[in-house]
Chains A and B, each alone.
Chain A
Amino acid sequence: MPEVRLDGVRFSYPGGADVYPEPGLSLSLDGGAVALVGENGAGKTTLTKLLNGLLRPRAGSVRVAGVDVTGRSAAAMAPVVGYAFQNPDDQLFERTVRAEVSFGPRALGRPPAEVGPAVERALQRCGLGGREDVHPHDLGLSERKWVAIASALAADPPVVVLDEPTLGQDHRSRQRLAALVATLAGEERLVLVVTHDMDFVAEACPTAVVLTRGTVRFTGPTADAFADEALVAEAGLRTPHVTRLARALGLGPCVTEADLLEGWTVA
């Protein structure tokens, strides 16, 4: 399993305060779909950028899939951590969707016979079949986000980071995204989803990591996180709609629509 181990990690942006206060951030994750949630400024995106070497810790260690990230460049981490940025425009620069999605595996020196099928699979998974020759900037925000996700997947990394993937997505796209997260998790990858979208967390991520002001406040089953009203309040989360309805109906803790329907039918 593609384990992530952070131990006593300290980091600050130039001129900024410590993102992770004493004794530093420690976190241990194995595979599966994991939501990373917490208020703006809690340190979520910083954490994910430490995983792929975009940011370097001042102290502590970061290991991903057995690789010590400290001292490695973001390029060297690319085959290990696939990263889809919150704003796809921070990421896209090629002239066609296919060129964009192929860039990662090609830059890694993978043989063409391997790149072609990997790119094809990433495009299909992201619903971009038929859009290969379009200029990424001729696409709407939703499709540009999908190009960014496909690019993150093309090198077949064991860890995939999706930063606010549901932003700007319509309901069909959200369903596709939930299905993709489940598929990737089923392939024994670690899919780390950074999001404020509590309904998506509830539906798509069985495990949650809750950050409050740079401290890991909770790691465990998503259902337990949302059942803890003090935690939800302290971390600035909101209870998913399914959980609210289940609670109002006096059903047990539910986070997915299937949970609620099952609980209601039995009751």
Chain B
Amino acid sequence: MSEPALVLDDVTYRYEEAESDALAGVRLSVAAGEWVGVVGPTNAGKSTLCLAAMGLAPHFFGGRLRGAVRVFGSDSLTVPVPERSADVGLLFQNPFTQLSGARERVDEEIGFGPECHGVAPAEVDERVADAMRLVGLEDLAGRHPLDLSGGQLQRLALAGLLAMRPRLLLLDEPTSQLDPAGTEAIFDVLTALHERGTTIVLVEHRLELLCEVCPRVIAMAGGRVLADGAPERVFNDEAVLAEAGAPAYCRLARAAGLPPPWPVRLDDAVAAFGGRRA
């Protein structure tokens, strides 16, 4: 049996000068090849979970981390972030944060990561071309990163990660600035990566979308894990619904007074509502 991609073993983390814990006794394990969604209200600890998995908390942000974070078996406290970035890609909520600031063309920006890791130039070129094709940026290869729109910047940030060929992707609202077609294109890419064995941890507020793609959902609030399991189970938990909200179909079924289990996907909703009427 292979090592889990990510383990948080009773992790409590507090940012420097913060008055409360951002993560409080979090225990979870993500097997290699899983696709896990993470939901919860603002300040639930979702982004901090990603930062801890990447090692940026505490290596970059300081603060105090208790418990252990293990990525593919190695303890994050002992692995510097640059080394970790060969295996793990973190997409920040704000794609602007992701830019190197050192490259003036989209294609060079995408190649920046592999270059810094000493990947041979011919392979860098191949990875850049591959990543641009995946996210649909081929036509913008020569543009300056700062001239891109929010949605284009988000695709650039993802392409930069893909060029590193990470085994674990941590995505913090990866398509928040994209239109529906752009969002679907990115989710097609993620689905293909998942099928090729990439482990994905996805923070997403659009719960309907999440329920379509993630076989497993972790709901957080106040730095703790509230529920962890299949979406139809997690979104039938009152504490989760109060904190993280409900996917539209679940919310409608509850409002209509239908008995649980409440549906999280369209076909289940049709069965729940239709069956009730007949």
A interface, CB within 8 angstroms of B? 38-41, 86-87, 89, 140-143, 164, 167-174, 196, 198-199, 236-238, 241-242, 244-245, 248-249, 257, 260-261, 264-265, 267
Contacts and interface: CB of A to CB of B under 8 A. Distances in A.
7 contacts: A40-B151, A168-B176, A169-B205, A170-B42, A170-B205, A242-B252, A245-B273
Contacts of A173: 42
A207 B41 CA distance: 29
A249 B178 CA distance: 30
Interface of B: 40-43, 93-94, 96, 149-152, 173, 176-183, 205, 208, 244-249, 251-252, 255-256, 266, 269-270, 273-274, 277
Contacts of B251: 257
Nearest to A244: B266
Contacts of A171: 41, 205, 244-246
A169 B251 CA distance: 18
Contacts of B248: 199, 241-242, 245, 257
Contacts of B180: 196, 198, 236-238
Given A89-B94, A172-B41, 20 more contacts: A40-B151, A86-B150, A86-B177, A87-B96, A141-B93, A141-B94, A167-B176, A170-B205, A170-B244, A171-B41, A171-B205, A172-B245, A196-B179, A241-B249, A242-B252, A245-B252, A249-B270, A249-B273, A260-B252, A264-B273
Contact of A40 (B40, B178, B208): B178
A111 B144 CA distance: 45
B251 to A, nearest CB: 7
A83 to B, nearest CB: 16
Most buried by B among A41, A196, A249: A196
B208 to A, nearest CB: 6
Contact of B266 (A142, A167, A198, A245): A245
B216 to A, nearest CB: 20
Contacts of A248: 266, 269-270
Contacts of B176: 167-168
A56 B247 CA distance: 42
A168 B183 CA distance: 15
B177 to A, nearest CB: 7
Contacts of A140: 42-43
B179 A236 contact: yes
B181 A39 contact: yes
Contacts of B181: 39, 236
A212 B208 CA distance: 26
Nearest 3 CB-CB pairings of A with B: A171-B245, A241-B248, A170-B41
